[in-house]
Amino acid sequence: MIDTQEGFHKYLHDFNSGNFYDFVPKYYAEDAIFEKTGYTIHGAQNLADHFSQVLSAVVKEEITLIHYIKKDNLVAVELQIELIAIKDGFYIKDRKKGEKEIFYDTGFYNIENNKIVHARVYRRFTDRDTIDLAKMYGKE
């Protein structure tokens, strides 16, 4: 599924839809491991719960693909993330409704039988002096 750039665009489209209880089983193995800076989630059900109950409780996340590389059963991507607070609350930090933040992730996805079995995602926060890579590479 994500083993092509077009497939990864579909993955992001489905993620951005916010329907995580359909999204996760479509793309992740039941026993998948999802590592992100600061935490590790074991199992597709726990990942769907995290996306639905923790992430979506405070923010809407829009992800844009900047770079895509595939070698054998490994997909590597660079992503631009835009978080928009949908209410006051805590996700990574305290947020106020309407607040926006842009940062970048690099992800490595191991694929077996058309499902992600292991994802490792590293985050780089930005500040006012950081270049918008999507604009820089003409992806907007």
Dist CA 44 CA 117 (whole Å):
9
pLDDT at 77: 98
For 35, half-sphere exposure in the C-beta direction (CA atoms, 13 angstrom radius) is 10
pLDDT at 89: 87
Quick check: 23 and 32 in contact, CB under 8 A? no
Quick check: 59 and 7 in contact, CB under 8 A? no
Structural domains of the chain sorted by starting position, each given as residue range(s) with its CATH number in brackets: 5-136 (3.10.450.50)
Q: What is the pLDDT of residues 63-113, one digit of tens each?
A: 999 999 999 999 999 999 998 999 998 877 888 999 998 889 999 999 999
Q: What is the pLDDT of residues 39-75, one digit of tens each?
A: 899 999 999 999 988 877 888 888 999 999 999 999 9
**Predicted TM-score (pTM) of this structure:** 0.84
Dist CA 18 CA 22 (whole Å):
9
